[in-house]
Chain A
Amino acid sequence: AQSVTQPDIHITVSEGASLELRCNYSYGATPYLFWYVQSPGQGLQLLLKYFSGDTLVQGIKGFEAEFKRSQSSFNLRKPSVHWSDAAEYFCAVVGGSYIPTFGRGTSLIVHP
Chain B
Amino acid sequence: EAGVAQSPRYKIIEKRQSVAFWCNPISGHATLYWYQQILGQGPKLLIQFQNNGVVDDSQLPKDRFSAERLKGVDSTLKIQPAKLEDSAVYLCASSPSTGLGNTEAFFGQGTRLTVV
The residues of A with any CB-CB pair to B shorter than 8 Å are 4, 6, 32, 34, 36, 41-46, 49, 51, 90, 94-95, 97-105
Q: Which residues of B contact A (CB under 8 A)?
A: 4, 33, 35, 40-45, 48, 55-56, 91, 93, 97, 99-102, 104-110
CA distance A45 to B110 in the complex (A): 13
Interface centre among B42, B93, B104 (most CB of A within 10 A): B42
Q: Determine how close the nearest CB of chain B comes to the CB of A89; give it in whole angstroms.
A: 10
Q: Are B104 and A97 in contact (CB under 8 A)?
A: no
Distance between Cα atoms of A45 and B105 in the complex (Å): 9
A90-B42, A100-B45, A105-B42 are known contacts. Are A43 and B104 too (CB-CB below 8 A)?
no
Main secondary structure of the interface of B (DSSP, over half): loop
A105→B102 CA distance, assembly (Å): 21
Q: Do A34 and B104 touch (CB < 8 A)?
A: yes
Instruction: Report whether A44 and B107 are in contact in the complex, using a CB–CB cutoff of 8 Å.
Output: yes
19 A-B residue pairings within 8 Å (CB atoms): A6-B42, A41-B109, A43-B93, A43-B107, A44-B91, A49-B104, A90-B42, A90-B43, A94-B101, A99-B48, A99-B55, A100-B33, A100-B105, A101-B45, A102-B35, A102-B44, A104-B40, A104-B41, A105-B42
Q: List, in ascending order, chain A residues with CB within 8 A of B44's CB.
A: 102
